[in-house]
Every structure is written in structure tokens, then in C-alpha cells.
Structure 1
């Protein structure tokens, strides 16, 4: 047999959780065609990769991103791919761009996901040639996709496109019978096009951008039970997924959404809910999440929590951080786009009094722990306060209240003062317990969003480090095979897409990583300008020594931690339709490299999964 690539001597994981072993892999035309304990014979044109001492694992699956905008102008998505992610799911949190026009997309994505609103408008205006879900998929497949994509259709997208953004965000408005029918048709069309399901949102501190509807919550939050039941019934019949976020201010909504997964006298509803987190502000709640999921699934549901398996550390420039949206005075400041008006508000004593009151109200559901002593200043024109907390600065200034110290510094330095805090997942022992919960999925990276606030692009590598460190210390909480499975095949199988495995006959989407470099470099802070966002500097991860190679469809898109010229220039990834196997995109055999490929890719759905 002639091979395009041979990978020799690596510790091979197949993504199913089965035992790993030292193997040699042969790849031809983008497919794994041989896995052998013995040597494979190289031909004259075979690339031979020495993987001795390294792990060869399936490409990781990221189940929760907001790359819907970035993929249009930067389809290589290198920040995820360089860390071993080869399959990316878009359309999370009720947000997608299947039916919205450009301005409404800017209003919905801009503030909620901290993506520059004008860029959203420009990108959708330039690329939007679609008027249906199937046409949207065709448009994606005309791009030089780096990773594979799978998609949810967003409820806010459908609702705003059907009712108009203004009516869709008014509490006294309901969709007419014709509008409800139109949303149901949109959902059905998306499922027919191979979408994963629908994402919705009940979380009330996701606020709109723009002028007309500014500071209203997302359209999906205004839907009543009947509207959602009718949409969910379509998902039930088609065995597709509902991804949602509950209203944490009303914990009963969380339990209600979890229970809706049950199929009592009807099909079960596959439900993926945000999120299992060890929240500093409510430390007891995490202990009930695993038992709740196990109980629902034992009763016949198909329910999963999404979980970020690393500390949830966030950064902020001044007051620009989504956690302030969860209480009135914080949201009031973020409502004001004009810097002069915002500064005037921050000086107002009545406003400060209200902020202090809400800061000190420690009871009740919340995400932020509201402790300015647990908020470290990391950048500031005044170097004397770097490394200190806002609370400590207040003490040094004569016992100033932490809120006043924070607001004073924001007034002094604006967005030039940068600070950080960890809001959840701060206890390593609890992270170990969450990691083995069968009702928990590892995900929720939010990749592509909150560009100045967080960077979890390498969360999979950091999770593998956590498991590997425990194994080396003799305190293993799971096998490495199980850890790899949780990031790969387990996710792909549950969502029904062709990814996450590395066996004979599978597409050669794989990562070669050096376990010796699963180290502290994975935690380091870096920034990098994003050309398609006007040079905005975003938080990124840089641990290039860890990832030796990433291959998608058997073609090398990352080498020694760095994206190759291929990534984003030629198409290696595909749109993954639920229940369909996808043939790989083999490399050209001879002649010059082709430019971006343009066929729709429907011909690559070669078989239907049973």
C-alpha cells in the first residue's frame, strides 16, 4: 500500500476510550488506512513523521463557540486549530446569522459576545448571499475552512428575523400564528440541512447593542412556554439537540429546563444546558448538578451540562466586562456607549450608593462573587498599583470603599486599567469530580467571543494536563484514554457528527502532542492583534511546544505549534451534517496548490450513520 503520510511510534488513542498503545499510522487520501504495531513501508513521496514519545489523538471537538462572525473573514480559525481543535460548533446561546440581516446581527452579537459591532455588520453585509439554512451551509463550504464546522440555529436569530428585532424584544408581544409557523419552518429547514439542533437563551444579563433596542435582553428570553414547546417538539421528533442557558435569577427555570429532557409519553429531548460551574459566589450549587443530571437520565432523559474544565479567569479593561450586566448599576454603566456620559454617571453619588448596595447584597443567584479584594490590577499607567486589588487600593487611600476605589480608578484611567479575577472553577479537587460526571460535557470555551476578556482556546490541553499530572502523582482521577475520549469521540457521538475518532477508515483529523510540554506554559497570558477586527488585540494562548502537528483530512495545518500556510488558504474542513459520514478532502497529487475550493460539498455526504 502507498501512503501519503506515515506517523511512526506515537502513543495512539482512538477516541473511544479503549486502551492506547504504541502504533504506526498510515494515511492515504485523507483517511487512516492502516494502524500497525509493525513498521509501514514508505514510498518515494511519503511524508514520514516521527512521533516517538508523543501522543497521537483524534482532533478535539469544541461544542460551544461564537465563531459565527470570525469564520466569514478568517475561516482558518487558527486560535482553536493550533491547540488541537479540528471540529467547531457554532450558533450557540440563541445566536446565529442564518436569517438575520447585518444590522440586527450587529445588535445581537456586539455587546453580548463583545465582538466589535461594526465588524459584525461589515462581515455579514459582505458575505451574506444566503436566504435559507441550506444556502448558509453552501456559503460556508465555499470558504477555505480550516476546521470542520457543525451548527445550531439560534432561536434569537429566527425570532428577530420573523417578528422584527423591536417586536421580538418587547415583553407584551407574541408571535402571530403565521410567525410561529414560520419559525417552525426555519427550524425544520435547518434540521433538514444537517444542523445539530436549536440554541435558545433565558439568561437575562445578555444585552443588545445598537440604538433601537439597546440594553434589552436577547429575543429568545422573551419567548413564553408555548412558543418554545412547539419548537422543542420538532427537536424531539428529529432527535436533535436543544442547547440552552437558564435564567439563574430563577433557579426553578434551571430545574424546569433539565426536566424537559424527559420523554414522558413523548420522545426525550436531548438537552445541553449551561453550565456546570463551581461558582465562587454560590459554592454549594455545584454539588447538586451531577446528581440532578444522573437522576434525569435515569428517569429516561438525555441531559448534559456543559462545563469549562479549567479555572474561569476573566480580564477586563475598566468596567467593560459582561459580569456587570447582572445587576442594575453595572448594566446602567454599560448601557452608555458615550464615554463622557458614562464618566458622568460613575461620578454621581446616587449611582455610587446604588452600586455599593448591590455590591454588598451577597445573597441570591449571581455569577460574579462581587469582591473587589479578589480582583488583581495587571496593567495601569500608575505602576504603583499593579499587582494590587481594588480593595487594597481603597485601604491605602484612607479606607475608601472598594466600589469607590474601583470607580475612581476607572475614571482616572478608563480602559487603560486592566484587571483580572477568577469567577468559578477555582478548586482543583472539585474540577476532578466534575470531570468524571457522566452528565457533564467538556466544553463552553466561548472561543471567538469576549476577545479582551477570556482565552480558553487551549482548554482541552489544559484538561489533559490536569489528568496527566494526577496520573504522574499517583492520584489519577481518570485514565488518559477516558480524558481523550471526553474531548473527542464522546462529544461527536452525542451530537451525531462524524468526528472525534482515529481508527482505520476514519478521516485523518488528528493531533500529535508532546506530553512533556503539558506544563505551566498552558496558563500563560498572551495577546495578538486580530486583522479582521481592525487590529483589536485579543487574549490568546501560546504554548507552541506542546502541539507538534495538527492534521485535518490528512493535511498538516499546524506544525510545531504554528499554523502552516495551508490553514485558511485551502479548504481542509467540511460542514458536518448530523448523521452523515463525510469523505475527506485529499491533498492534490501534483502540480501547483489550488486556491480556495468552491464546490458545495453535498457530494461528500457519502453514507448515513445507522
Structure 2
């Protein structure tokens, strides 16, 4: 007898095949039958899917949910968006080896706080929970949790280095020969235990957060090519995935490292997924260079297997004063970001330091006037930094003057100029604004001085947003369906107050919807079967015998949904902090994980958060996976 039957759904199986009108039956946690007019017993729970899309549960392949899973293992924001499987431990950081606290070091806090903009109190609570001491212990721990979705952990390189060299040693230089040997042994053990891959990072603005190492990058970035080649050879031999980021300021180093994917050079292709193919507002060439490099490495000449991840959304970020996910890219902002979040006095000392002010002004005004190479690069959208440095790109989200909310900072800047030109008698300035304007240097001079004064006066009470990439919908659509990309890079579980892309998979479906059901089938494949095959896990296909991870989408609600209007901020009591979320109403009708309904209508199952629905997914060639699903 079937436990559930989905009736009359527009069914996408995850393979990319055209959808069909079909029923689907579930028994004992697995898909038992697919086809029209399935006969079931009267006790079977029927789910009416007329006019709805029925598809495999979606995959989120770039997350940092290994933090949240320790505090809220049901991962509610994931599940309500139709995502049933998440890949964790990206960008070289994670908790595979426990808290790793030794000799006063606190690696989880040190590595995550600035790289992923996570509050230190939250990270300390996570570290307190990480009582295991090796990668097998981590898998055992995950299996004890009341998981919401399935979780797919990887071995994180920074933590691997810390485990062998200690935190301070791991940022001091290359390993000794015996240390590299030990890293190989631990990575080999992780692959044998079923970890799906290995993650590294080379982005030059990922720094540690605790003294005395605040000016040092995370440990993975102190690895030379020889270390990287030896470790990825283990990943290659096991047929697992290498997740990487480029050394964006050293193109030759990036190309050399990504050539490790080559089957022709190294005997067998290395599955490689890289962050990220983005249509950056300040660098139009970056996206094209990524796609060109990938196509060359995947050609018959090199026989690689590399895919750049593509964000399914406009890249919209929120900043608290000068603190945002990109602050460490710019040395002037980096100095502010090195201070503790609550250290307003420390930031004020920096903001009033003449040498720092000079460096900030040079950065902010560079290329905006006169004739120079920087001016030409700015005109051609070939700049080296991601922030546009334009007030009209900075929209106020919160500040002490409520009527500024929703305006770009360019608007009050122009009002200030008019106010000062009229000697304070500008009739359009409100009383509170006029009083505030009276405290500005007169004349203000330029937009750099305006922003500096705002930061001095309001610090993190000025919350603003900007969109740094993927503003053009047509370009975004081409990126998401390009044969050199995988939809991903949602960064779920990180940058809690700065970004919110849990809805990334739904955005991909919405973009596809404009071009008909065949394109939707392609989108479903790129969110399910394709990434599951790339990561080598048992997920992503809705076929008889497969684990019953399913979601039901309302296409009418999907078409009606405007993703840019459903962002809001909530207090997550389990995390103890505020978070950006994006919760579309009515789009995801139902979510099943492991043969049990976890989300229906607009609510979670009663046992959600107290019983396990998802499981730890190992690489599908691991013996435990073979026991479940065969070879």
C-alpha cells in the first residue's frame, strides 16, 4: 500500500525530459510508482496537483549551513523554498574536525566571522557544540541530528591545515613534508568515509577575525601549488568534487590552479566547481573570462570537467555602515572591518585619522575625474574592485532619518548641496534633516566627504543596500543556462544580515517559466539531476526506487511573485540575531523529504525540528550508499 500519491501533476523527473501529466506514489520513503491513474488503497494520502508542477526536491550546492545546522538542524529557510539537499563546507571552511580549540585558538570564530560576516556570539555557540575531533565523528554527529533537508559535507582545506599545523602555524607558510603527508592521510580518510568533495579558497579578501591574525588571510591561501596538486590528486582518484574560488588578482595563478581539472594533463578529469560567473557592474569582462576559461579547459584539448557557479539572482547586498561582505576587498574599508562590530569608538578613531582619510578619499574618488587609466577603466566597466563607489547605487534601508529610507544616498547629497548653497534656507529640507545638515562641513566638497560624515555620525545605524552584479535579466538568463555553469552560489547560511538567496532555485524556475515548459524542464534538471550527478550523490531524480524528496510548485503564484519585493528582516531566535530572508507566498505548495511531508501550504510539519527527515548523503560509491541504493 502506498503512503502517499500525488495526483495529476505536471511532472518533471529531473532528467531534463519534457514534463508529462502524471501521478506519483510513495511508499516507505521511496518513490514506488510513476504514471497516470495509479491505483492505490483507500488509506493512501492523496495530494491533488492539478495545475501544479511536481518535481524532485531542489539542490543548493553552495552553502555554509554547517553553522546553522548546529543551532537549528531543521534548516527551516531551506525547506520552505523547496530545497531538500544542501552541500556544506564550502570555501575551505567548516566544522569537520570539531571546534579545533587549542592553545587559545578559536578557528571557527576566526575563519567564519569576516569571511562569511557571521556574528561572533553565534559562532561561539556553534563552536561550543562541535565536540567531535575527527571527520568520522562529524558524520556520526550529523546523523544524530533532527535534520530537515539532506546534508552533503565536504572536507574544508583551511580546517584541514589547522588540524595538522594549528591555526597560527597554518597561516605562517607552507607545511613541512610530514605535515603535508598528514594532510593527505586525513583527506584520504575523509574520501573513504564518503565526503563528497574538498573545498579551497583563493579570494584575496578573506581574512581571519581574531587577534593577532586580523591582517592574515584564511589558512587555505597559504598553500602553494604543490600542496594543492597533491591534495586534489586524492580527490581526483576518488572521483569527488573540488570546490574552489579564483585568485582574482592573479590571473596566471588562477589559470594554473584550474588546469588541475585537466584529464589530459593529469590522467583523469577532476570535477571542479568554481565561484562564480557573475555579470559584475564594475567589470563586464569578468563573466566572459570565466566562461572562456571554462570552455577551454573542458575542450578536447584539456579534457577537463569544470563548471562555474552562477547566482540565480541580482546580487543585492545590505551593509551596516562600512561593514558588508565586500569590505575586506578595499584596504580602507578593511581597516574598519577589522574592528569588532560593537567597537564604535575604534572605528571613530580610524574615521578621524588623517592618513586613513587620505587613503579613503584616494580610493573613493579614483577614476572619477581628470584623465587617467583608472578613469578609462571605470568608463569601460573594467575596474578592479566590485563596489561601484556611486552614491546613486547606495539605497538607504535604515537610518535615523526615516524619510531617507528607499532613497539613494545621491538624493540627500544633492539636497545637502542645495541647502549649503542657500546658506541653510533651503525650503525643501525637513526640520530634522536641516538640523542634521547643519552639522556637515560647509562646503561639503564632494561625495567622499559626505559619506565620511555619515559614517562618523551614524556608523552601523546607516544600513544601505546595493546591487553589485546580475542587473540585466537577459544576461542573467543566459548565464544560468550556459553549458559552462551550474546554478548555485546562494551562500545560504552565511552573511545573515547582508544577503538572502535561499530563494535562488525558485528564481531560476521563474526565469525559465517565461520561455515555456521545455525551458522549465531544463531548469529543473539544472537544479536537481545535473548537480546531483556532478557531486556524485543519490539525489535529484524522481524515479522508481529513488528516495522520495519532492516539491510541488504553483506556477501561477511563481509567475505573480516579484522576488525583489519579498525581502525582509526577521529575528531568528535560534540563532540569536537578525537575518535577511526572502519568502515568496504560495509558490512552494508542498515539500517531501525522505517520504514525509515537511512543508504544506504555509506551515511546517508538527514534528519538524524534533525528528529527522533528511539524512547525511555520502558519495554514491560509498558502501553505505550502495547498501541503500545499489551501485
- TM-score normalised per structure 2: 0.88
| Corresponding residue for residue 307 of structure 2 | 304
In 2: Cα distance, 1:409 partner to 1:426 partner: 27
In 1: Cα distance, 2:224 partner to 2:217 partner: 14
| Corresponding residue for residue 257 of structure 1 | 257
Aligned equivalent of 1:543, options 584, 602, 605: 584
Query: 8 Å contact 1:380–1:417 — kept in the other structure?
Result: yes
| Corresponding residue for residue 355 of structure 1 | 360
Structure 1 residues 425 and 555: CA distance shift in structure 2, 3 A = same
The 3-state SS of whatever aligns with 1:273 is strand
Query: 8 Å contact 1:372–1:403 — kept in the other structure?
Result: no
Per-residue CA distance 1:60-118 (angstroms, 9 max, x = gap): 01100001111012110010110000000100000011225252111111221112223
Per-residue CA distance 1:256-278 (angstroms, 9 max, x = gap): 23322112252222111111000
State whether structure 2 residue 550 is matched by structure 1 residue 531.
no
In 2: Cα distance, 1:522 partner to 1:392 partner: 25
| Corresponding residue for residue 534 of structure 2 | 494
In 2: Cα distance, 1:401 partner to 1:107 partner: 37
Per-residue CA distance 1:178-206 (angstroms, 9 max, x = gap): 21111111111111111111100111111
Deviation of residue 411 (structure 1)? Answer: 2.1
Give matches, 1:466-505, under 5 Å: 466-471=511-516, 479-505=519-545
Query: 8 Å contact 1:207–1:214 — kept in the other structure?
Result: yes
| Corresponding residue for residue 37 of structure 2 | 38
Deviation larger for 438-447 or 413-422:
413-422
Structure 1 residues 552 and 465: CA distance shift in structure 2, 3 A = same
Deviation of residue 368 (structure 1)? Answer: 2.1
The 3-state SS of whatever aligns with 2:205 is coil
Query: 8 Å contact 2:12–2:55 — kept in the other structure?
Result: yes
Deviation of residue 304 (structure 1)? Answer: 0.6
In 2: Cα distance, 1:529 partner to 1:565 partner: 22
Gaps (5+ residues) in structure 2?
367-373, 378-382, 418-443
| Corresponding residue for residue 606 of structure 1 | 627
CA root-mean-square deviation: 1.8
Structure 1 residues 404 and 161: CA distance shift in structure 2, 3 A = farther
Deviation of residue 605 (structure 1)? Answer: 5.0
In 2: Cα distance, 1:496 partner to 1:141 partner: 20
- TM-score normalised per structure 1: 0.91
The 3-state SS of whatever aligns with 1:479 is helix
Bigger Rg over Cα: 2
The 3-state SS of whatever aligns with 1:344 is helix
In 2: Cα distance, 1:403 partner to 1:566 partner: 53
Structure 1 residues 226 and 580: CA distance shift in structure 2, 3 A = closer
Aligned equivalent of 2:476, options 410, 424, 431: 431
In 2: Cα distance, 1:42 partner to 1:484 partner: 31
Structure 1 residues 435 and 603: CA distance shift in structure 2, 3 A = closer
Query: 8 Å contact 1:580–1:608 — kept in the other structure?
Result: no
Query: 8 Å contact 1:166–1:212 — kept in the other structure?
Result: no
Gaps (5+ residues) in structure 1?
582-601
Deviation of residue 609 (structure 1)? Answer: 5.7
Deviation of residue 506 (structure 1)? Answer: 1.1
Deviation of residue 323 (structure 1)? Answer: 1.1
Deviation of residue 604 (structure 1)? Answer: 6.5
| Corresponding residue for residue 228 of structure 1 | 228
Per-residue CA distance 1:261-303 (angstroms, 9 max, x = gap): 1122522221111110001110122223323222211130011
State whether structure 2 residue 136 is matched by structure 1 residue 134.
yes
| Corresponding residue for residue 268 of structure 1 | 269
Structure 1 residues 288 and 443: CA distance shift in structure 2, 3 A = same
Deviation of residue 501 (structure 1)? Answer: 0.8
